Amino acid sequence: GWRSRAAFKLIEIDDRFKLIGEGTRIIDLGAAPGGWTQVAVKRGAKHVVGLDLLPVDPVAGAEIIEGDFTDPEMPDRLKDMLGGPADLVMSDMAPNTTGHAATDHMRIMGLAEGALDFAFQVLAEGGSFIAKVFQGGSEKDMLALMKTAFSSVKHVKPPASRKESSELYVIATGFRPERLLESS
């Protein structure tokens, strides 16, 4: 069985966008308790590397380490573990909620922006990015950056995501690293 309800969200996202296949190299940010990692392995990903602040029980076919994704050495470390750049960076990261909506919103968007910056450092050309965002979708600056750096950017609310929860996922595909250089 799946270790998390969240697993169903990734299944629904991937049924629609087909981002995980045989040969796909994946980095899973905020992997605990391991549901998304299980889905990635099950769908035939070639190599899956996960990271979380919390310890995660081993998932056969994947490597998960304990740590903070904002640690400056993390992009290179995970890329080394993967044996090269990633085809997909997926982040289901969420902060500990405070119950104060504006603070929670700000924190989740901070994680999503951090995950995007991380993705820029590890993604292969043509690669994809999935991240949990909030209500109205990505913030303006983040959205503009994604539209520059990827050929397609969409927001989805997977059916498995509770209706009363304000989470959404952003799905960006077709990474174009040269566009980032041109715009900087």
Within positions 110 to 149, which residues make up the interface with ligand SAM, using CB under 6 A?
Answer: 111
Known catalytic residue: 46? no
Verify binding: residue 6, ligand SAM, rule CB under 6 A: yes
Point out the catalytic residue in the list 9, 18, 79, 132.
132
Verify binding: residue 7, ligand SAM, rule CB under 6 A: yes
Q: Least separation, in Å, of the C-beta of 139 and ligand SAM?
A: 18
Q: Judged by CB, which is closer to ligand SAM: 66, or 178?
A: 66
Among 4, 128, 138, 161, binds ligand SAM (CB under 6 A): 4
Q: Do the Cβ atoms of 99 and 93 come closer than 8 Å?
A: no
**Three-state helix/strand/coil letters over the chain:** CCCCCHHHHHHHHHHHHCCCCCCCEEEEECCCCCHHHHHHHHCCCCEEEEEECCCCCCCCCEEEEECCCCCCCHHHHHHHHHCCCEEEEEECCCCCCCCCHHHHHHHHHHHHHHHHHHHHHHEEEEEEEEEEEECCCCCHHHHHHHHHHEEEEEEECCCCCCCCCCEEEEEEEEECHHHHHHHC
Verify binding: residue 46, ligand SAM, rule CB under 6 A: no
Q: Least separation, in Å, of the C-beta of 29 and ligand SAM?
A: 6
Count of residues that bind ligand SAM according to CB under 6 A: 22
Verify binding: residue 54, ligand SAM, rule CB under 6 A: yes
Verify binding: residue 27, ligand SAM, rule CB under 6 A: no
The rounded distance, in Å, linking the Cα atoms of 112 and 3 is 23
Q: Least separation, in Å, of the C-beta of 45 and ligand SAM?
A: 14
Which residues are catalytic, by number?
132
Q: Which residues contact ligand SAM by CB under 6 A?
A: 3-4, 6-7, 30-36, 51-54, 68-70, 92-94, 111
